[in-house]
Chain A
């Protein structure tokens, strides 16, 4: 009897909260998958979000020469926008400023791909094709000695590239 009463009371409570939820403002409209795809450009470290397509560093060199070299310099060094290559072994050296590049500092190759995809080239972001994105990414990884010139980069291979500073990060805790 008592448990029945509790059950009824619970049902009433659930009904009440559903009714309240029904009254909450809902002014969003449901997005269709086709609408989402053009903006859905992030990539996770496990490769989720990587698009189809593929390329090697050898093809990437030409794309880089056309769209990246003016700001990032020949072989990713010496341009006005900061170095993309070099700097490995400069972290944690007493008295020396760390040289942070894609090769020496970035923990995931997927992050670099995603950044180029959303923000580069500076004067025409979001303009590179998927193949061009894989090509440029492969070239910069190759400049850092992380892959070979003919290694194919695609949605399966890119997340497997082991970045030298992969274990160089830890979550901040208060007092750091």
Chain B
């Protein structure tokens, strides 16, 4: 494709066509700024009267669903490595969504024995162990407590793990990064239930266990339980989806997803962690010296460009908006920078929304693509001052076998023909 010269009057914020993030927020600025002239009206047929304009339309559904023309907006990109269909994951199609709230049906899910079909009238939550009174709660009982709603991101501790591989994966933004989602969760503070049970001061951890066939089990520090752990009953205003824990799941805002046990049936107060399979054999990071770090609780700041993405071929030179998501388990995103030249020069992106604590932030920046090769990257900074590392820096620290918490910068290479590929830059 021939390179398109950029209009000379444009002010660039960084090399290779990145424009000022506020370009279209200033009054009077429009696409004309980019050199688009008003087009002469062409001689053409009158605008058509389509069938839906000229006859009564169809019935309304009791529970609406996306248009049949949106049938490709579905989860995928995961799959089972072992051949057991229930031991799998399914990822969020980040390239086909925008904003920050993930539709409940598109929230990613990691499953250890499929999706249980739980009758909420038969589901019970047991709180026991080092407590004065072991208690059992039905779903109906939990619904009677004061409820709280919070917008929290949820990322699998193994999201993007393929970025530790020697060669860049071409699975697309969904396949590489799709185990990140964000919802408004509504539920009961676990601390309130723990206080009702009367926690023994000796209890420093809880064990959380699911009602699924695999009885997923993780240990959680009591400090986190009493600070902000939530038993979520609702996701984006409706009951939690089956693959995300119906009728109730644990939410530990900012912590790795695996700890936030779905289909929660049991909370046991304990003096120490039980060292369960998923906090020893799995979800531990093995460093070059052979030692493994355990209880890698927090999700560090991370960002990824979701548009453009390998799944979305470019449509020729000209104006594009680069957009993506950023999040931090330590708080909130205060800055996202974007590079179009593989990290040599950076321009600040515009952050949408208030950037609330432990939620996702959408960033956007205008880009005038000249049709030449470009390497797009995004780099997040959170309110603790932590800056998202390069892949090289992360691998230098952890080595290639760490598996988890892969929060390194991603590079999308744009070829002149419009193909977008994943590269290490």
A-B contact pairs, 16 of them (CB 8 A): A27-B144, A30-B135, A36-B126, A42-B207, A45-B274, A91-B286, A107-B280, A108-B275, A111-B276, A115-B277, A119-B277, A125-B213, A169-B291, A171-B295, A174-B298, A176-B293
Is B141 an interface residue when CB atoms closer than 8 A count as contact?
yes
Is A80 an interface residue when CB atoms closer than 8 A count as contact?
yes
Q: Are B274 and A169 in contact (CB under 8 A)?
A: no
A28-B193, A170-B291 known, 17 other contacts, Cβ within 8 Å: A27-B144, A35-B136, A42-B274, A44-B275, A94-B288, A98-B290, A100-B286, A105-B280, A108-B280, A111-B275, A111-B276, A118-B215, A122-B86, A171-B295, A172-B293, A172-B295, A172-B296
Q: Are B113 and A122 in contact (CB under 8 A)?
A: yes
Q: Are B272 and A44 in contact (CB under 8 A)?
A: yes
In the complex, what distance in Å separates the CA atom of A32 from the CA atom of B295?
32
Chain B nearest CB from A164 CB (Å) reads 11
In the complex, what distance in Å separates the CA atom of A45 from the CA atom of B197?
25
In the complex, what distance in Å separates the CA atom of A100 from the CA atom of B283?
12
In the complex, what distance in Å separates the CA atom of A142 from the CA atom of B97?
51
Interface residue from B128, B214, B297 paired with A31 (Cβ < 8 Å): B128
Chain A nearest CB from B355 CB (Å) reads 21
Chain A contact residues, CB within 8 Å of chain B: 24-31, 35-36, 39-45, 49, 71, 80-82, 91-94, 97-98, 100, 102, 105-108, 110-112, 114-115, 118-119, 122, 125-126, 168-174, 176
Interface residue from B86, B113, B294, B401 paired with A169 (Cβ < 8 Å): B294
In the complex, chain B residues whose CB is within 8 Å of the CB of A98 = 286, 290, 401
- Beyond A31-B135, A42-B268, A80-B82, whether A111 also contacts B145 by CB under 8 A is no
In the complex, chain A residues whose CB is within 8 Å of the CB of B284 = 169
Q: Are A122 and B84 in contact (CB under 8 A)?
A: yes
- State how many residues of chain B have any CB contact under 8 Å with chain A: 60
Is B19 an interface residue when CB atoms closer than 8 A count as contact?
no
In the complex, what distance in Å separates the CA atom of A107 from the CA atom of B293?
12
Chain A nearest CB from B244 CB (Å) reads 20
In the complex, chain A residues whose CB is within 8 Å of the CB of B86 = 122
In the complex, chain B residues whose CB is within 8 Å of the CB of A174 = 298
In the complex, chain B residues whose CB is within 8 Å of the CB of A30 = 133-136
- Beyond A27-B141, A168-B290, whether A43 also contacts B280 by CB under 8 A is no
Is B398 an interface residue when CB atoms closer than 8 A count as contact?
yes
Interface residues of B in 393-416 (CB under 8 A from A): 397-398, 401
Is B137 an interface residue when CB atoms closer than 8 A count as contact?
yes
In the complex, what distance in Å separates the CA atom of A175 from the CA atom of B324?
25
The chain A residue sitting closest to B296, CB to CB, is A172
Q: Are A169 and B280 in contact (CB under 8 A)?
A: yes
In the complex, what distance in Å separates the CA atom of A27 from the CA atom of B139?
11
In the complex, what distance in Å separates the CA atom of A80 from the CA atom of B86?
14
- Beyond A27-B141, A176-B293, whether A118 also contacts B217 by CB under 8 A is yes
